[in-house]
Structure 1
Amino acid sequence: IEDMEMIISEAMEFNNPVRFSVFKPLPLLNGPETGEIIQIEGHIHYINQLQKTLHVVDSKGDSNFIKFKDIVGVEMK
């Protein structure tokens, strides 16, 4: 978790692109722990500490809101 926090902080400071691995639950199947891992690449636009989400803008200009609890991994691009 500390490594992920450091990567996120550095990406915010220098506006570096990052790739998040995010767990996307599929609750209609076999329960809340069923889902898939998706990749989201882009720049971190904003961190909302109250809602515990990251606002990431991808290369197409689309906004992605990622919950802290759903982040499986993060790496610099």
Structure 2
Amino acid sequence: MAESTTERPVGGTDPELDLAKAAWLSSSQGRGEVQIAFVEGFIAMRNGRHPEGPSLTFDPEEWRAFLRGARDGEFDLT
């Protein structure tokens, strides 16, 4: 299991977090498509409609960059 640190080597693998007991939070729309959980200093994100599927994990710096990109429209489909 990964240590509770925010440092990962460039090109490293995602930490092996135990998400079985994670407290998942749903998106503000209340439909639950996107869920996040804060686990061992990392942020995990999954599809709430398919919670058994894979989760993305971010360290705090990666999460901030993801949020900035989302706010700036970096991921818009238009």
- In which range does the TM-score fall when normalised by the shorter chain? 0.3 to 0.5
Higher relative contact order (CA 8 A, sep 6+): 1
When normalised by structure 2's length, the TM-score is 0.33
Structure with more of its chain in strand, by fraction: 1
